[in-house]
Structure 1
Amino acid sequence: MQPTLRLLGRHNAFNVRKVLWLLDELELPFTQEDWGRGFRPTGDPEFLALNPLGTVPVLVDGPAVIRESHVILRYLAAREAAEALYPTPLAARARIEAWMDWVAYEMSMPMRGAYLGGELGLAPWNRASFVQLGRDEYARRMGVLDAALRDAPHLGGDAFTLADIPAGFVVHRWFAMKSVERSPMPALEAYYARLSERPAFRRHIRNGLP
């Protein structure tokens, strides 16, 4: 019998919510502990012993300790042999991982400017020029997704895969932000509606939080 998974990280954190979504999709038993802003500090020795970077989330699976949200997503899908979410054929897997990495690399700056700076007004990201750049780049990248989704209902093709979890979150945040102007993107809007039909998405992503 596999040990119960422990997920460390505040339940309302961006990267933690992605992992919660997948755990729900996989129907895996786990315990969740709130660490980070507003909760137990990740600078505590107990946390740093698991992740010396002091970032959330951290997944503990028996003796295995895994950090970085997208690494955790891959780990869980592989652990459960979730072929539909994370197929074994390398070409199919590479297509999924490419979108996951695209979100990790391409959405970092736009989300800091548009969301942390523009939506929340947090320093040092709230400089007017950085906020505007973030909004412009966020919109441009949503246009990339809109174009990619015109010929298929999901980023991996016909079916929901691991690729849709990081992308689905940034799409949700795009539609949840009140401080941005949005041009019509029919394919992206339909994608958001499809994701919103998933109970796990509604529980952990489209749950009243941006």
Structure 2
Amino acid sequence: MLKIWGRKTSSNVQAVMWCIAEFGLPFERIDAGFKYGVVNTPDYLAMNPNGTVPTLVDGTNPPLWESGAILRYLANMYAPETFWPADPAARAFVDQWAEWSKVNFTQSFTGPIFWRVVRTAPALRDPVAIRNALATLDKKLDIAEAQLAKTPYLSGPELTLADIQFGHCLFRYFTIDIERRDRPVLTAYYNALTDRAAYADHVMVPYDELAVED
């Protein structure tokens, strides 16, 4: 039985939960972080000295933290060949796009845009900074669209770890109040993700509790 600490509105937790659900693994999730607390308790810090979420415990194995490491662990332990290939070269290709998604897309979206739009009071928002961040993000999305124009998923014909790292932020990208370029390829990809039960259950989570009002 997998045990995961982390609130359902954390994007990093959502990535891990989406992956777990795709594999059909039994789990228990405990709300932690943000208004739910837990992460500053001695017991939690003994598992994860960073006081962050998610943290995962799988049976008697040591606790794991950092969502990227957790996702790779889950892939190594439980993924089908189509999701995480055994062949080193094929796996590296998937991992390349997974790393690109986390470093280039997610980091260009979450802090520079999502935090500035949702987690900042309207009176304190910086429209120039948001506009500049969107211009930077669009360059990353151009790369994703070019790849998705060639293949249904980010690294090939099947869902892989790369899609978990890329797709888990798309619900927020498509639903927050920002100007978005018309991207039919990306939109079709996102719509296909929303048809997946695991994505709908664990990624398409309202983030109202994160919004900061004046």
Q: Is residue 60 of structure 1 aligned with residue 60 of structure 2?
A: no
Q: Which moved more, 1:95-104 or 1:17-26?
A: 95-104
Match of 1:102 in 2: 100
Structure with greater helix share of residues: 2
**Runs of 5+ in structure 1 lacking a partner?**
none
Match of 1:174 in 2: 173
8 A Cα contact 1:7 1:60, kept in partner: yes
Match of 1:116 in 2: 115
Match of 2:185 in 1: 187
Q: Normalising by the residue count of structure 2, what TM-score does the alignment of the two structures yield?
A: 0.88
Match of 1:18 in 2: 15
TM superposition shift of 1:140: 2.3
Question: Any idea what SS the aligned residue of 2:63 has?
Answer: strand
**Runs of 5+ in structure 2 lacking a partner?**
209-214
Identical aligned pairs, as a percentage? 32
Match of 1:139 in 2: 138
For residues 188 and 121 of structure 1, do their structure 2 counterparts lie closer, same or farther at Cα, with a shift above 3 Å needed? same
Residues in 2 aligned to 1:92 and 1:190: alpha-carbon distance in whole angstroms: 25
Match of 1:198 in 2: 196
Question: Any idea what SS the aligned residue of 1:64 has?
Answer: coil
For residues 23 and 201 of structure 1, do their structure 2 counterparts lie closer, same or farther at Cα, with a shift above 3 Å needed? same
For residues 60 and 193 of structure 1, do their structure 2 counterparts lie closer, same or farther at Cα, with a shift above 3 Å needed? same
For residues 154 and 109 of structure 1, do their structure 2 counterparts lie closer, same or farther at Cα, with a shift above 3 Å needed? closer
Divergent runs of 4+, >6 A: none
Q: Is residue 155 of structure 1 aligned with residue 154 of structure 2?
A: yes
Match of 1:40 in 2: 37
For residues 133 and 111 of structure 1, do their structure 2 counterparts lie closer, same or farther at Cα, with a shift above 3 Å needed? farther
Q: Letter of the aligned partner of 2:72 in structure 1?
A: R
Q: Which has the higher contact order (CA 8 A, sep 6+)?
A: 2
TM superposition shift of 1:110: 3.2
Q: Letter of the aligned partner of 2:55 in structure 1?
A: V
Question: CA RMSD for the aligned pairs?
Answer: 2.0
8 A Cα contact 1:21 1:205, kept in partner: yes
TM superposition shift of 1:63: 2.8
Match of 2:28 in 1: 31
Residues in 1 aligned to 2:175 and 2:85: alpha-carbon distance in whole angstroms: 31
